[in-house]
Amino acid sequence: MSVGILGKKVGMTQIFDSSGLVIPVTIIKAGPCLITQVKHQQKHNYQAIQIGFGETHEKYLNQPELGHLKKIGAPPLKYLKEFKIKTSESYKEGEILTVDNFHIGEFLNISANTIGKGFSGYQKRHNFSRGPMSHGSKNHRQPGSIGPGTSPGRVFPGKRMAGHLGNKQTTIKNLEIIHINSNDNLLIVKGSVPGKPGNLLVIKAQG
């Protein structure tokens, strides 16, 4: 797994390229992220780095979390995330990761929680077709039969039914970096990323 960075979705807009074509883009405030821990094969049985993002107030963290961060003199951080790596020799605790680790034209994989849509029915959640809309139908958006008859006389697990829709982690791949603003820690990528503005994103370069 390649080392990534954490960020927040700012919103979407559009820009024009040199030929006048409209490109839909997402603006992401990425980093800066602090390396809070480096894990080694000898001590932890695997190699990884832990990064922190988003300063917060001490009252929002418990004592073990505060103690963990104070060991390296880090401020209270809201989010911590681990990335497994092949070798941990090139990373040090206290090092800062910024958008300068990426370059224009690079492709990213971005993971986040999708927008939560609450309790949804069959048509919206699973793209089921509706029943006839004529007067005597009485089966416009109902599910119909949900299982076999007397044998085995139960509903099989995993049956597609109405229920909770959205708010699940997903990954959008192959998002191209259009522009990088190092002064404001902004990444501008082509296309959309999961979630609403303000959503936490895990940003990783491909490869």
> Which residues, in sequence order, are bridge partners of residue 179?
188
Read out DSSP for 121-183? -HHHHH-PPP---STT---SS-----S-SSSS-SPPTT---SEE-S--EEEEEEEEEEEEETT
152 in a structural domain: no
Element containing residue 68 per DSSP (H, E): helix 63-70
Instruction: Clarify whether residues 84 and 8 are in a common domain.
Output: yes
Same domain membership, residue 80 and residue 34: yes
- Residue 65 and residue 134 share a domain: no
Count CB-CB contacts under 10 A for residue 122. 18
Specify the number of domains making up the chain.
2
Residues 115 and 129 in one domain: no
Are 125 and 48 contained in the same domain? no
Helix (H) or strand (E) holding 41: helix 41-44
Whole-number Å distance between alpha carbons of 104 and 187: 9
Total-model pTM: 0.81
198 within domain boundaries? yes
Asked if residue 41 belongs to a domain, the reply is yes
Does residue 63 sit in the same domain as residue 92? Answer: yes
Q: For strand 163-164 and strand 96-97, is the pairing parallel, antiparallel, or unpaired? A: unpaired
| CATH code: domain of residue 59 | 2.40.30.10
pLDDT tens by residue, the chain, 207 residues? 467 899 999 999 999 988 889 999 999 999 799 999 888 888 888 888 999 998 889 899 889 989 988 888 888 999 999 988 887 778 888 888 888 888 898 999 999 999 999 999 999 999 999 999 999 988 899 888 888 888 888 899 999 999 999 999 999 999 999 999 989 999 999 999 999 999 999 999 886
- If asked whether residues 8 and 70 sit together in one domain, one would say yes
Range of the domain at 83: 4-120+170-205
Based on the domain organization, do 99 and 134 belong to the same domain? no
Q: Is 182 left (phi over 0), alpha (psi -120 to 50) or beta?
A: alpha
Q: How far apart are CA 80 and CA 54, in angstroms?
A: 9
Q: Are residues 136 and 175 in the same domain?
A: no
